[in-house]
Amino acid sequence: MDWFPILAIGSSGGGGAPEGGNWSSLLFLFSTLLFIWWFIYLNPQIKRQKERDKLLEGVKKGDRVVTRGGVLGSVVGVKEKEKVVVLKIADNVKIEIVRGAIETILTGNESIPQDGNKDK
């Protein structure tokens, strides 16, 4: 017996247009995925940014800081209006940096952060 004609008839289906999906279920799916993405990724990022902004707003004269470029210095002046910090990096050497360029503020007993790459 030849099965090919029987399989061809059985697989032809109804031939009609496929049924339309329910838009509300699709909207629910996308809104759920958006909420999960916000909860897992954006919300913690916003919290970290607020903590960093608070830290940078607290920079004051006398603080020891490390910039993103790796420059270590002491704050000798803060220009609030321009959001600029004046650092003393050596005797008679002062530089102005944007407040956002500060990576960390060192406390009294905190050492300079070391690079994670150590040669053995």
Mean pLDDT by 10 residues, the chain (120 residues): 60 55 85 91 91 89 91 91 91 93 82 56
Q: Say yes or no: 97 and 68 in one domain.
A: yes
Q: Say yes or no: 44 and 77 in one domain.
A: no
Q: Say yes or no: 65 and 100 in one domain.
A: yes
Please name the helix (run of DSSP H) or strand (run of DSSP E) that holds residue 66, with its range, or none. Answer: strand 64-67
Q: Say yes or no: 53 and 74 in one domain.
A: no
Determine the pLDDT at residue 41: 87
Is position 13 within any domain?
A: no
The C-alpha atoms of residue 69 and residue 103 are separated, in whole angstroms, by 9
Is position 11 within any domain?
A: no
Looking at the 3D structure of the chain, how many domains does it have? 2
Determine the pLDDT at residue 120: 43
Q: Say yes or no: 71 and 87 in one domain.
A: yes
Report yes or no on whether pTM surpasses 0.75.
no
Determine the pLDDT at residue 24: 85
Determine the pLDDT at residue 86: 94
Q: Say yes or no: 41 and 73 in one domain.
A: no
Q: Say yes or no: 45 and 68 in one domain.
A: no
Is position 14 within any domain?
A: no
- Domain extent for 97: 60-106
Neighbours of 101 (CB within 10 A): 15
Determine the pLDDT at residue 111: 62
